[in-house]
């Protein structure tokens, strides 16, 4: 069925052969790469930042190129170390330390990263939030975590309902609000100016918690996924083999730190590998994005399907205005990567876009298209050496190739979540089949061991007895020149069980007509299968998406059925 293959690009692979790596790789060997392996003193922030300065002579190397329309800065590893030390001292001065939850609620900026690292250096647990969260979302998360402090800006302060949060003692303000600081509010800059640039890092155990990330369930309240310092083993090694990071690389991960990708691969993977990282603040604009790549000479670029689709629909003329030949390696995560996007990437960047699959709960990449491997467009690739992923049935039996089932991972692996905050029952649900972590995604594996995503388990459509994964239909839809984005759901139908309904956003310049509708339905019929073609298509200006860019099919479904939409705190405005 899937015969398209894109061979390895010359000069790219750093992982000699996938099979050989699988046969010989051991996580224990990776542990030797860290200082704690000899000292016994563990802190991920030390390994990511301080060690580069104190043990590797990289103090003057740029760690972070920050840019937004109003501010451009180059910050060295030494400055990252000193600024995060300062914030660690600020926290200590206010009695904040090991195990306590400190949240961050602000737009991307150097201050955000320094605060984040400072929190980890005192052994506290960082809780990054998307700046776009509204009051209810902020309240739920801070209350659940019993956060003692938060770092924020004057503009966002009003969304923190302190009166409802008895545990919240300190609000660190990056910037002074009009009318001055309120009760419990501290001037971040003044505190930093007074603090020493040296600190005693809080050493701990590999299993000590460091990160609490809330992820939305399909209904009910978001759950707090807890990660520990030990994850560094995976962040480092996947950074090396999947991101293909090399010492002189300039790396750009476009993800916000409110999303797991913006932490695991926006902070840990690049810094544990000692490379230079680019962070861009401000809104998405295609020309600014290309300019960022050109100006900073980005070699490795990690983004998401939604961004690639937006760039694609902005047109190829914009790409041609920039010299993007610096790009060596491009990656994508968050949603299935449509084959059409990969073809487009080949055309405009002359590079392959490497899809990879993982989740907030897995903490790090699990399945991936490697630089050293042929890409089969539409496939997520193969499991990381040292990780066993499989398709299993509901009893835990591994299914043979080409059978759709639960995408599962043999537990544990280094960056696996260790808890759902205050919700053991929820945590245990993921592991209800002995020995396995159940992802909630449905997929199949082909004869060559490549994994193919179908949808969330709940999203798989059963139409006239045929199981259809929404992703394949969506991918075919976006191949049509009129379709910018598509979200596909099953709609209950007395005759067929379910019928396929597509929500689409049109590309600029297209008008919605009966003819176009017929043409698109026909396009899917011919290109995919008659039974997989949507019977209904509805056009929307925009599709509902999470802040990390995922199309929210459950919201489309709820709208369609007139049902409650569940938790919408992670939805884009
Ligand atoms: C890193 C991240 C996890 C869910 C996951 C799946 C979807 C992520 C994907 C993908 C198809 C890929 N997902 N990567 N689906 N292909 N390459 O996205 O974490 O925000 O927790 O989302 O995202 O459904 O279960 P998170």
DSSP string, 224-236: EEEEEGGGHHHHH
Lookup: tokens for 248: 């002189």
Q: Model confidence over 272-298: pLDDT tens digits?
A: 999 999 999 988 999 999 999 999 999
* Ligand 1 binding pocket includes 355 (Cβ within 6 Å): yes
Q: Model confidence over 345-371: pLDDT tens digits?
A: 999 999 999 999 999 999 999 999 999
Q: How far is the CA of 242 from the centre of ligand 1 (A)?
A: 16
* Ligand 1 binding pocket includes 334 (Cβ within 6 Å): yes
* Ligand 1 binding pocket includes 238 (Cβ within 6 Å): no
Q: How far is the CA of 335 from the centre of ligand 1 (A)?
A: 5
- Shortest-distance atom of ligand 1 to CA 548: 20
Nearest CA to ligand 1 atom 14: 334
* Ligand 1 binding pocket includes 546 (Cβ within 6 Å): no
Nearest CA to ligand 1 atom 18: 334
Q: What is the mean pLDDT of residues 42-54?
A: 98
Q: Give which of 457, 241, 281 is closest to 364, Cα–Cα.
A: 241
- Shortest-distance atom of ligand 1 to CA 440: 25
Lookup: tokens for 482: 């009129």
Both ends of the chain: CA-CA distance in Å? 39
* Ligand 1 binding pocket includes 261 (Cβ within 6 Å): yes
134: pLDDT strictly greater than 60: yes
Nearest CA to ligand 1 atom 5: 359
Ligand 1, pocket-test mutation among 231, 257, 334, 370, most atoms within 8 A of CB: 334
| Predicted local distance difference test score (pLDDT) of residue 1 | 59
Q: What is the mean pLDDT of residues 337-348?
A: 96
Nearest CA to ligand 1 atom 8: 334
Q: How far is the CA of 357 from the centre of ligand 1 (A)?
A: 6
Question: Which residue is associated with the tokens 């972590």?
Answer: 437
Lookup: tokens for 163: 């009166």
CATH of 18-444, one of 3.30.420.40, 3.20.20.80, 3.40.50.12780, 1.10.8.60: 3.40.50.12780
Phi-psi region of 471 (alpha: psi -120 to 50; beta: other; left: phi over 0): alpha
CA distances from 58 to 6, 50, 117, 229, 462 (A): 37, 9, 18, 22, 56
Nearest CA to ligand 1 atom 19: 359
Ramachandran angles phi, psi of 478, nearest 5°: -75, -10
Rounded-to-5 percentages of helix, strand, coil across the chain:
35, 25, 40
d(CA 491, CA 434): 34
Lookup: tokens for 117: 């690292």
* Ligand 1 binding pocket includes 380 (Cβ within 6 Å): yes
pTM given for the model: 0.93
* Ligand 1 binding pocket includes 269 (Cβ within 6 Å): no
DSSP bridge pairs for 66: 73, 279
CATH of 460-561, one of 3.60.150.10, 3.30.470.20, 3.30.930.10, 3.30.300.30: 3.30.300.30
d(CA 194, CA 100): 23
d(CA 431, CA 180): 50
Nearest CA to ligand 1 atom 4: 359
Nearest CA to ligand 1 atom 22: 359
- Shortest-distance atom of ligand 1 to CA 455: 24
Q: What is the CA radius of gyration of the chain?
A: 23
Q: Give which of 227, 280, 175 is closest to 413, Cα–Cα.
A: 227
Lookup: tokens for 517: 């509708």
Asked if residue 136 lies in contact with residue 161, where contact means CB atoms within 8 angstroms, the answer is no
d(CA 52, CA 173): 29
218: pLDDT strictly greater than 60: no
| Complex ipTM tops 0.95 | yes
d(CA 254, CA 261): 9
Instruction: Give the Cα-Cα-Cα angle 208, 26, 273 (nearest 5 degrees).
Output: 65
Q: Model confidence over 503-520: pLDDT tens digits?
A: 999 999 999 999 999 999
* Ligand 1 binding pocket includes 453 (Cβ within 6 Å): yes
Q: Model confidence over 480-506: pLDDT tens digits?
A: 999 999 999 999 988 888 999 999 999
DSSP bridge pairs for 62: 76
d(CA 175, CA 187): 7
- Is the peptide bond prior to 115 cis by the omega test (within 30 degrees of 0)? no
Q: Model confidence over 526-570: pLDDT tens digits?
A: 988 888 899 999 999 999 998 888 899 989 999 999 988 887 888
Q: Model confidence over 372-409: pLDDT tens digits?
A: 999 999 999 999 999 999 999 999 999 999 999 999 99
Ligand 1, pocket-test mutation among 222, 335, 369, most atoms within 8 A of CB: 335
Where do runs of H (alpha helix) occur along 51-159?
Answer: 51-54, 77-93, 110-121, 135-145, 154-157
* 536 Cβ contact list (under 8 Å, min separation 6): 491, 499, 500, 501, 502
The domain locations on the chain are: 18-444, 460-561
Q: Give which of 242, 225, 279 is closest to 257, Cα–Cα.
A: 279
Asked if residue 306 lies in contact with residue 545, where contact means CB atoms within 8 angstroms, the answer is yes
Asked if residue 27 lies in contact with residue 193, where contact means CB atoms within 8 angstroms, the answer is no
What is the CA 177 to chain-centroid distance, rounded? 32
| Predicted local distance difference test score (pLDDT) of residue 132 | 87
């Amino acid at each position: 069925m899937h015969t398209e293959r894109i061979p390895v690009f010359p000069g790219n692979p750093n992982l000699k052969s996938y099979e050989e790596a699988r046969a010989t790789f051991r996580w224990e060997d990776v542990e030797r790469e860290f200082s704690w392996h000899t000292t016994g003193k563990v802190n991920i922030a030390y390994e990511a930042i301080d060690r580069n300065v104190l043990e590797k002579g990289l103090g003057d190397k740029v760690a972070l190129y920050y840019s937004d329309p109003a501010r451009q800065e180059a910050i060295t590893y030494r400055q990252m170390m000193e600024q995060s030390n300062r914030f660690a001292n600020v926290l200590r001065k206010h009695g904040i330390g090991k195990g306590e939850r400190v949240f961050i609620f602000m737009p991307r900026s150097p201050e955000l990263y320094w605060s984040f690292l400072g929190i980890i250096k005192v052994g506290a647990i960082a809780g990054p939030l998307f700046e776009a969260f509204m009051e209810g979302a902020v309240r739920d998360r801070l209350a659940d975590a019993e956060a003692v402090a938060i770092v924020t800006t004057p503009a966002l302060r009003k969304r923190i309902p302190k009166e409802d949060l008895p545990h919240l003692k300190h609000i660190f303000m990056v910037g002074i609000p009009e009318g001055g600081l309120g009760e419990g509010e501290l001037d971040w800059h003044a505190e930093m100016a007074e603090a020493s640039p040296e600190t005693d890092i809080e050493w701990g155990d590999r299993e000590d918690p460091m990160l609490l990330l809330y992820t939305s369930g399909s209904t009910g309240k978001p759950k707090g996924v807890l990660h520990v310092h030990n994850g560094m083993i995976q962040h480092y090694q996947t950074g090396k083999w999947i991101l293909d990071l090399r010492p002189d690389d300039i790396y750009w991960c476009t993800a916000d730190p409110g999303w797991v990708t913006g932490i695991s691969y926006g902070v840990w993977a690049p810094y544990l590998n000692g490379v230079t990282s680019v962070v861009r603040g401000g809104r998405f604009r295609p020309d600014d994005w290309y300019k960022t790549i050109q100006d900073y000479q980005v070699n490795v670029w990690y983004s998401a399907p939604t961004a690639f689709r937006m760039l694609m629909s902005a047109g190829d003329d914009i790409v041609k205005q920039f010299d993007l030949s610096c790009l060596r390696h491009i990656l994508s995560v968050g949603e299935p990567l449509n084959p059409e996007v990969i073809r487009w990437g080949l055309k405009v960047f002359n590079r392959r876009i490497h899809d990879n699959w993982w989740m907030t709960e897995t903490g790090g990449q699990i399945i991936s298209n490697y630089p050293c491997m042929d890409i089969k467009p539409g496939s997520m690739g193969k499991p990381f050496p040292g990780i066993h992923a499989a398709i299993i049935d509901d009893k835990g039996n591994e299914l043979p190739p080409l059978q759709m089932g639960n995408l599962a991972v043999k537990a544990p692996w280094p960056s696996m979540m260790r808890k759902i905050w205050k919700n053991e029952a929820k945590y245990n649900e993921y592991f209800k089949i002995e020995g396995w972590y159940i992802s909630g995604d449905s997929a199949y594996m082909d004869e060559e061991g490549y994994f193919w995503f179908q949808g969330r388990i709940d999203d798989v459509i059963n139409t006239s007895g045929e199981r259809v994964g929404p992703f394949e239909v969506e991918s075919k839809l976006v191949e049509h020149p009129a379709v910018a984005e598509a979200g596909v759901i099953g709609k209950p139908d007395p005759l067929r069980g379910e019928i396929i309904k597509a929500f689409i956003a049109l590309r600029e310049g297209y008008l919605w007509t009966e003819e176009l509708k017929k043409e698109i339905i026909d396009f899917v019929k011919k290109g995919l299968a008659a039974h997989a073609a949507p019977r209904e298509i509805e056009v929307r200006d925009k599709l509902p998406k999470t802040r990390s860019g995922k199309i929210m099919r459950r919201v489309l479904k709820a709208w369609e059925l007139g049902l409650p939409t569940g938790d919408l705190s992670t939805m884009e405005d």
